Amino acid sequence: MSHDAVQIIARGPRALAESAAEALDAHHGLEAVTYSILEEDEDRDVWRIDAFPTEPAEADTLRQVLEGHGGLVVSTEVLAANPNLGKALAGIWYETMTLMSADTPEGAAAREAMAQISGTDLAGYEAQLATTFMYYTPQDALAAMLGEDIVAANDKVRQFSFQAGLFGQGARSVDDIGISFPGDKILGNPENVMLRFDPTYTQMAADGAL
């Protein structure tokens, strides 16, 4: 069956959050998991990890790793039941994109902080950004999600991923995993959707309605 999109959140002091992030990076079973780490409350030294597993096993492993760092408060949110969470995440994302793309001292400071987290310096990080289309604005992201090329592009990605064994040892076909797109389009198994391109909150960000 299709799994509800969930977000696992962990909050705690910076040292614990950074240690937990290192544990996530080092865990072989979580190599495909997307997560972010950011400062939520500077005065109270509260840092936050937002992780987005794509299947129940990953979610269970994520919780185990995060809960292993005793000072972190770990919770799980189901996006469909918490639309305000989606709005907040989209808002934070595009605020961050605006800051990191700004040609200002604040923008440079943000990029330098991200460079340190990425294990490089400012020049190295900016060199990476120069060759990456970042979708800095919701308008850019929305155009990509609603464009004609998104299905064909992701079909190429999934074909390569399956041939390279990235679907896992149990995958028997490139269609074992489903990918959903705007307009009710689906590649692969509609009962096992693991990747969703949902423009709901990006559209709200583009409309200034967050």
Does one domain contain both 39 and 55?
yes
Distance, CA of 43 to CA of 97 (rounded, Å) = 23
Backbone angles phi, psi at 106, to 5 degrees: -65, -40
Q: Structural domain tally of the chain? A: 3
Per DSSP, what are the bridge partners of residue 193? 178
Does one domain contain both 10 and 71?
yes
Q: What is the mean pLDDT of residues 178-187?
A: 92
Helix (H) or strand (E) holding 24: helix 14-26
- Give the pLDDT band (50/70/90) at residue 44: confident
Quick check: is 179 in a domain? yes
Does one domain contain both 45 and 67?
yes
**pLDDT value of residue 4:** 60
Domain hosting 151: range is: 139-197
Does one domain contain both 65 and 93?
no
Q: In sequence order, which ranges of 27-179 are alpha helices (DSSP H)?
A: 56-67, 83-100, 105-117, 122-130, 138-146, 150-163
Does one domain contain both 53 and 22?
yes
**pLDDT value of residue 5:** 65
Q: Which of 210, 203, 5 is nearest to 91 (CA)?
A: 210
Strand-strand pairing, 73-78 and 193-196:
unpaired
Does one domain contain both 131 and 168?
no
**pLDDT value of residue 1:** 40
**pLDDT value of residue 43:** 83
Contact predicate 185/147, CB 8 Å: no
Quick check: is 122 in a domain? yes
Backbone angles phi, psi at 59, to 5 degrees: -60, -45
Q: Write the CA distances from 195 to 21, 38, 125, 129, 154, integer angstroms.
A: 23, 24, 28, 24, 10
Mean pLDDT of the chain: 88
- Which tens digits make up the pLDDT trace of 59-87? 889 989 998 887 888 877 767 677 887 88
For the ranges 51-60, 134-143, 201-210, the lowest mean pLDDT is seen at: 51-60
Quick check: is 208 in a domain? no
Q: What is the mean pLDDT of residues 41-48?
A: 86
For the ranges 2-6, 39-43, 188-192, the lowest mean pLDDT is seen at: 2-6
Strand-strand pairing, 193-196 and 178-181:
parallel
For the chain, percent of residues with pLDDT exceeding 90: 52
Distance, CA of 145 to CA of 196 (rounded, Å) = 10
**pLDDT value of residue 130:** 94
Quick check: is 207 in a domain? no
Contact predicate 10/17, CB 8 Å: yes
- Which tens digits make up the pLDDT trace of 87-139? 888 999 999 999 999 999 999 999 999 999 888 999 999 999 999 999 999 99
* End-to-end CA separation in angstroms for the chain: 31
Does one domain contain both 76 and 102?
no
Contact predicate 121/189, CB 8 Å: no
Does one domain contain both 63 and 16?
yes
